[in-house]
Amino acid sequence: MDLQLAGRRALITGGSRGIGLAAAETLAQEGVDLVLAARDPAVLDAAAQRVRARRQVAVETIAADLSRQVEVERLAAAAGRIDILVNNAGAIPPGNLLAVDDATWRAAWDLKVFGFISLTRLIYPALRAAGGGVVVNVIGAAGESFDPNYIAGSAGNASLMAFTRALGRASHADNIRVVGINPGPVTTARMEMLQRRRAQERLGDAARWRELLATMPFGRAATPEEIGAAVAFLASPRSGYTSGTILTINGGG
């Protein structure tokens, strides 16, 4: 299916690996030029080279620490014209109320919760001035399926869900769509880290983490490519009447 995205330009945070890179590759396949942002310049460059080797699109990289407001502002200024913003950066650590201290909680929210909100606030006026655009927030299913052992992530994701729905209720006036995706478990390096921790707690052996996937729907976690395809579809005119909506992708579990 032609998603009618050719010639558009997307900024993807957390674009150097995992879901962000998968979204970049799918958008590139549709002819979208890319600006990839992440912290590590070397990993960003490798990701950009991977995309360029497969698709004839322009791929720029901007190394930035989006937990710092000054870096968010620098990214927004450096990105130039954007049609699609994909907020994806941020990994909130696991732990219950007493395990996650204030400094860890605040640092995680600075990157993910306030990072999403601040970058959207900075990019939104440019989208409006250009006649419209799309914001896709890759959030996380813990925002609707609350996990006491992932309390900072559950609370942060729930906040971003509310942000997405609230903004999406009004953004149509500016011809801007705001949508979200709540992935369940996805086979990324971060998912493996979390599963290893759980395997150590439950089975006494972190190396047995794959055994924890057997009870998931279809006996597996989602792939980054499956989430990336959803990002591209929601960002496209094929989904042009979708706003203020959050798509949960968890296999039905």
150 labelled catalytic:
yes
Question: Sheet harboring 245-249: ordered strands across?
Answer: 59-63, 33-38, 9-13, 84-87, 133-138, 176-183, 245-249
* Catalytic residue (one of 124, 150, 163, 233): 150
Give the residue numbers marked as catalytic: 150
